[in-house]
């Protein structure tokens, strides 16, 4: 995920600078106390800061429900740009760790545990990145390379390393306790999804040819002729459906397809900067509608799009499609296409749920507001609207009630959901 971070995370370098100062100072202080080489210790602190900043700084997008993918193209992705950057991320960390601590096996174990914990935190903290075994093994390979390089460096500098027996004991303790702790958290909180491509990274002949054919057809249409693919693999659907998702990273952007339906779920250009142009609002709306008619024709048929600015000086707009049933209930389908005033489609996202059959709402809006506010003491109901919401595995018409905190004039970020048939409060968010 490192390549995507450099394009999509504007806070990456400020976070790295802050962590670098913190860890660099802490490493220097420890070097003075423990008689480590000060320069090497500071470089170790900076390497750790780089790992944490690059992997845990939020991207601004949601990664959906927590899950981890196992067996997603390990040996193929390591040779791509993304895999090589994941490898390179851990080389300096292990290299400077060996030179500073002089315990190669302990450093290697610590790096492996750190990588496992990082992958776990990425999905649990909702950073916008996926937990993936391919990334973990790429990081472990980088740690192994850095450890070997550190041992050679210590030999050249004539720095005595810890005895193998003592270092091996620390290795077993660190790896055993660290990986066991990660495994317990995964077992309790993180569903595992097995990619059928397996650890070879090569699907069966039929799946592979179909996936490659789909990618070769779709990537140039989204990002231009000659678009090269960096990585692709199957992952669990962040929305929680049993249908897997084909995730593709290309030189120009990324996209996801529901598989095997090949429905486009999202696309995002690497160049996410707004490029203002001469198009009017009507022309931007047409550009977004043209894109939607190609990629989401089944969803947008009979739906009138709306246009809303993304912010700033109006250099980009979001063309939005929503559908309501005869009772005014917002359906789960949705399509959003972000278009700049230069006419460039910057991103798209879609939800392909079919319109569910729903019972007719009987609970009035005011009654729903009263019940939602009563369920959240210290708040009052503001606006409300009807939408289809999945409750206990079934679609239900629900009032979504925006709640305002005491002494506040605007919504407090809380939403209460009231079943529009039974009047029962079924959920609260925020």
pLDDT value, residue 212: 84
On the question of pLDDT at 2 being above 60, the answer is no
- To which residue do tokens 């960096």 refer? 230
Would you place residue 241 in the very low, low, confident or very high pLDDT band (cuts 50, 70, 90)? low
Confirm if 389 and 407 have CB atoms less than 8 A apart.
no
Q: Of the ranges 1-10, 72-81, 112-121, 133-142, which is most confident?
A: 112-121
pLDDT value, residue 358: 96
On the question of pLDDT at 122 being above 50, the answer is yes
On the question of pLDDT at 182 being above 50, the answer is yes
The rounded mean pLDDT for the chain is 85
On the question of pLDDT at 93 being above 90, the answer is yes
Judged by average pLDDT, the poorest of 223-237, 266-280, 403-417 is 403-417
pLDDT digit string, tens, across residues 81-90: 667 888 999 9
pLDDT digit string, tens, across residues 325-342: 999 999 999 999 999 999
- By C-alpha distance, which of 393, 366, 395, 394 is closest to 380? 366
Burial of 324 (0-12, 13-18, 19+ CB in 10 A): middle
Q: In what order do the strands lie in the sheet with 379-391?
A: 379-391, 394-405, 414-419, 425-429
- By C-alpha distance, which of 36, 139, 37 is closest to 94? 139
pLDDT digit string, tens, across residues 380-405: 898 999 999 999 889 999 999 999 87
pLDDT value, residue 131: 77
Q: What is the mean pLDDT of residues 61-80?
A: 57
pLDDT digit string, tens, across residues 139-164: 999 999 999 999 999 999 998 998 99
Confirm if 107 and 147 have CB atoms less than 8 A apart.
yes
Which residues on neighbouring strands pair with residue 379, listed in sequence order? 405
Confirm if 362 and 373 have CB atoms less than 8 A apart.
no
pLDDT value, residue 239: 62
On the question of pLDDT at 235 being above 60, the answer is yes
Confirm if 215 and 201 have CB atoms less than 8 A apart.
no
């Amino acid at each position: 995920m490192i390549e995507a971070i450099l394009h999509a995370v504007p806070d990456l370098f400020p976070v790295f600078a802050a962590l670098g100062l913190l860890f660099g100072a802490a490493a220097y202080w420890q070097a003075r106390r423990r008689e480590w080489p000060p320069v090497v210790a500071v470089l170790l602190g900076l390497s750790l800061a780089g790992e944490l900043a690059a992997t845990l700084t939020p991207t601004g997008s949601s990664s959906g429900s927590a899950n981890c993918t196992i067996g997603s193209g390990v040996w193929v992705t390591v040779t791509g740009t993304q895999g090589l950057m994941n490898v390179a991320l851990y080389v300096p960390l292990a290299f400077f760790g060996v030179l500073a601590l002089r315990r190669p096996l302990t450093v290697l174990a610590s790096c492996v545990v750190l990588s496992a914990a990082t992958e776990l935190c990425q999905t649990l903290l909702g950073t916008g990145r996926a937990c993936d075994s391919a990334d973990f093994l790429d990081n472990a390979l980088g740690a192994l390379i850095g450890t070997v390089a550190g041992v050679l460096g210590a030999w050249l500098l004539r720095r005595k390393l810890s005895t193998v027996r003592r270092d091996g004991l620390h290795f077993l303790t660190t790896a055993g306790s660290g990986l066991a702790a990660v495994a317990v958290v995964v077992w309790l909180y993180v569903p595992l999804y097995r990619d059928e491509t397996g650890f070879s990274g090569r699907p069966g002949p039929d799946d592979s040819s179909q996936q490659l054919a789909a990618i070769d057809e779709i990537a140039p249409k989204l990002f231009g002729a000659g678009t090269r693919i960096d990585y692709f693999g199957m992952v669990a659907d962040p929305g929680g459906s049993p249908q897997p998702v084909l995730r593709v990273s290309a030189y120009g952007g990324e996209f996801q397809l529901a598989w095997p339906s090949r429905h486009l779920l999202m696309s995002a250009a690497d160049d996410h900067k707004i490029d203002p142009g001469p198009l009017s609002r009507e022309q931007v709306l047409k550009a977004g509608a043209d894109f939607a008619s190609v990629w989401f024709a089944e969803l947008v048929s009979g739906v009138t799009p709306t246009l809303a600015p993304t912010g700033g000086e109006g250099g980009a707009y979001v063309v939005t499609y929503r559908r309501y049933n005869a009772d005014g209930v917002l359906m789960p389908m949705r399509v959003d296409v972000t278009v700049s005033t230069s006419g460039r489609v910057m991103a798209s996202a879609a939800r392909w749920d079919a319109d569910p059959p729903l019972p007719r709402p009987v609970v009035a809006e005011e009654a729903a507001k009263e019940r939602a506010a009563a369920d959240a003491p210290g708040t009052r109901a503001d606006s409300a609207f009807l939408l289809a919401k999945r409750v206990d595995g079934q679609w239900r018409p629900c009032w979504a009630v925006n709640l305002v905190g005491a002494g506040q004039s605007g919504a407090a970020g809380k939403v209460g959901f009231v079943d529009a048939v039974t009047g029962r409060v079924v959920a609260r968010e925020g």
